[in-house]
């Protein structure tokens, strides 16, 4: 249904990356079904409320069946139970509405709830992440006794509030606001705790690497340890003596196939999905064909390596990056280990930091020869 002096956009939209996908469309048609009347408006409203109620029911099922690490399933089930209450209320209100205008207001409200639950489901992943990382940080050696106790108390309180929810909780507070408030409180407490560590004698800075997910591109339990000579290496026995090459758990020796432990089973490397938070993803932002990036093992560590390109970069870039949430406000720099091969030029390869205001700090990666070596950005 259109108001006067309005326009309609028609076209094709693709919402996800599919490898080797191809589609062409032609001979577009616009079909006029009938003019607007009280009867067609009522019929339209009936279809819309059914669609929105079905969507809410799908969200209820998804929240009921979801499993997030870091908190009990009772939390998302409580949200799902609240959705069931909202479903019944919306249905009753629609059936009791006196005119089409009231019915459309109910539909609009329900449509917004469905959009909110889409966003909430993503935010539950963020909440799960900060709880997991906080728990991991609490299991490490204490940076400061007083700071540790304060951080642990905040973590325990927030986890108790989350696991203690029922459907009635969300009669008083919006579920998204509930999650955001606790996420922000725990992220702040984590930052306060990291702030208590002593400064590095050489740089005068403090290590906040605990906020990065999978900084070594391996599972948390398989992170490398530092050797006496200052180098790092993964201690998992099945990877000892492994040669360099694309990351794979299968290898052949003397004609016999063996399997190594999958030390990167929890690491993701999605492509062109900037909605991803606290996980690595590739951002291919240039014209030309490429295989993107691959996980690579070399000299005792796993990293991400760029693969071939079928054309020269005329503009743009290809990034491997992570959007970090829950980082306290302040000045930061970035440090990383690099391993280089071939004729790569430092002015084309950089590590970078970019804040939400769009400010970027880059540091060129010049060829360094054998082994992994450390590089740093400036302060942003």
Tens of pLDDT, residue by residue over 280-297, are 988 877 766 666 788 989
pLDDT for position 353: 85
pTM across the whole model? 0.78
pLDDT of 47-97, one tens digit each? 999 999 999 999 999 999 999 999 999 999 999 999 999 999 999 999 999
- Identify the H or E element spanning 375: strand 373-376
Share of the chain above pLDDT 90, in %: 45
For residue 330, tell me if it sits in a domain. Answer: yes
pLDDT for position 340: 75
Domain boundary among the residues 194, 229, 255 is at 194
Q: What is the mean pLDDT of the chain?
A: 86
pLDDT for position 77: 95
pLDDT for position 5: 64
Tokens linked to 236: 């998992």
Mean pLDDT of 20-40: 77
d(CA 94, CA 106): 7
Domain boundary among the residues 159, 194, 229 is at 194
Tokens linked to 308: 């071939």
For residue 287, tell me if it sits in a domain. Answer: yes
d(CA 169, CA 178): 9
pLDDT for position 301: 92
pLDDT for position 158: 97
pLDDT for position 65: 95
CA-closest candidate to residue 236, choices 143, 327, 302, 155: 302
CA-closest candidate to residue 130, choices 55, 191, 50: 191
How far, in whole angstroms, is CA 297 from its chain's centroid? 24
**How many angstroms separate the Cα of 122 from the Cα of each of 63, 130, 216?**
11, 13, 24
Domain boundary among the residues 139, 162, 194 is at 194
Q: Tell whether 78 and 222 lie within a shared domain.
A: no
Burial code (b: 16+ CB inside 10 Å, e: under 16) for 77-88 equals bbbbbbbeebbe
How far, in whole angstroms, is CA 168 from its chain's centroid? 29
pLDDT of 347-367, one tens digit each? 677 788 888 777 787 777 765
CA-closest candidate to residue 71, choices 136, 137, 127: 127
CA-closest candidate to residue 273, choices 228, 218, 239, 322: 322
Q: Which residue has the higher pLDDT, 370 or 136?
A: 136
For residue 338, tell me if it sits in a domain. Answer: yes
Q: What string of DSSP letters covers 197-234?
A: SPPPTTTS----GGGSSSTTSS-GGG--EE-TTS-EE-
Query: Is 60 exceeded by the pLDDT of residue 207?
Result: yes
pLDDT for position 36: 62
Mean pLDDT of 144-150: 93
Q: Tell whether 314 and 187 lie within a shared domain.
A: no
d(CA 58, CA 64): 10
Q: Which residue has the higher pLDDT, 326 or 261?
A: 261
pLDDT for position 308: 58
Q: Tell whether 42 and 186 lie within a shared domain.
A: yes
Domain extent for 248 = 210-376
How many domains is the chain built from? 2
pLDDT for position 315: 66
pLDDT for position 118: 92
């Amino acid at each position: 249904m259109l108001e006067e002096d309005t326009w309609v956009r028609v076209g094709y939209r693709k919402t996800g990356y599919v490898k080797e996908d191809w589609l062409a469309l032609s001979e577009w048609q616009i079909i006029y079904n009938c003019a607007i009347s009280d009867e067609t408006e009522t019929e339209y409203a009936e279809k819309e409320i059914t669609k929105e109620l079905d969507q809410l029911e799908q969200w209820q099922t998804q929240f009921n069946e979801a499993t997030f690490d870091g908190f009990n399933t009772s939390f998302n089930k409580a949200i799902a139970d609240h959705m069931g209450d909202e479903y019944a209320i919306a249905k009753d209100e629609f059936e009791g509405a006196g005119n089409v205008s009231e019915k459309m207001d109910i539909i609009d409200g329900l449509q917004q709830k469905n959009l909110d639950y889409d966003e909430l489901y993503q935010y539950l992943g963020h909440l799960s992440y900060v709880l997991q990382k906080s728990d991991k940080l609490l299991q490490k050696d204490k940076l400061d006794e007083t700071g540790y106790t304060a951080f642990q108390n905040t973590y325990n309180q927030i986890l108790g509030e989350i696991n203690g929810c029922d459907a009635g909780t969300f009669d008083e507070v919006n579920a998204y606001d509930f999650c955001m408030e606790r996420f922000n409180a725990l992220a702040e407490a984590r930052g306060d705790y990291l702030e208590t560590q002593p400064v590095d004698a050489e740089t005068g800075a403090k290590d906040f690497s605990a906020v990065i997910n999978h900084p070594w591109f391996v599972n948390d339990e398989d992170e490398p340890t530092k050797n006496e000579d200052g180098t790092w290496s993964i201690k998992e026995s099945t990877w000892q003596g492994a040669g360099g090459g694309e990351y794979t758990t299968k290898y052949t020796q003397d004609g016999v196939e063996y399997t190594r432990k999958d030390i990167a089973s929890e690491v993701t490397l999605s492509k062109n999905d900037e909605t991803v938070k606290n996980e690595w993803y590739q951002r291919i932002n240039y014209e030309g064909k490429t295989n993107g990036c691959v996980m690579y093992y070399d000299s005792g560590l796993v990293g991400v390596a760029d693969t071939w390109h079928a054309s020269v970069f005329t503009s743009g870039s290809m990034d491997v990056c992570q959007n970090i949430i829950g980082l306290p406000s302040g000045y930061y720099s970035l440090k990383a280990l690099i391993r280089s091969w071939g004729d790569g030029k430092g002015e084309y390869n950089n590590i970078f930091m970019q804040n939400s205001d769009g400010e970027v700090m880059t540091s060129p990666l010049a060829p360094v020869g054998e082994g992994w070596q450390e590089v740093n950005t400036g302060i942003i």
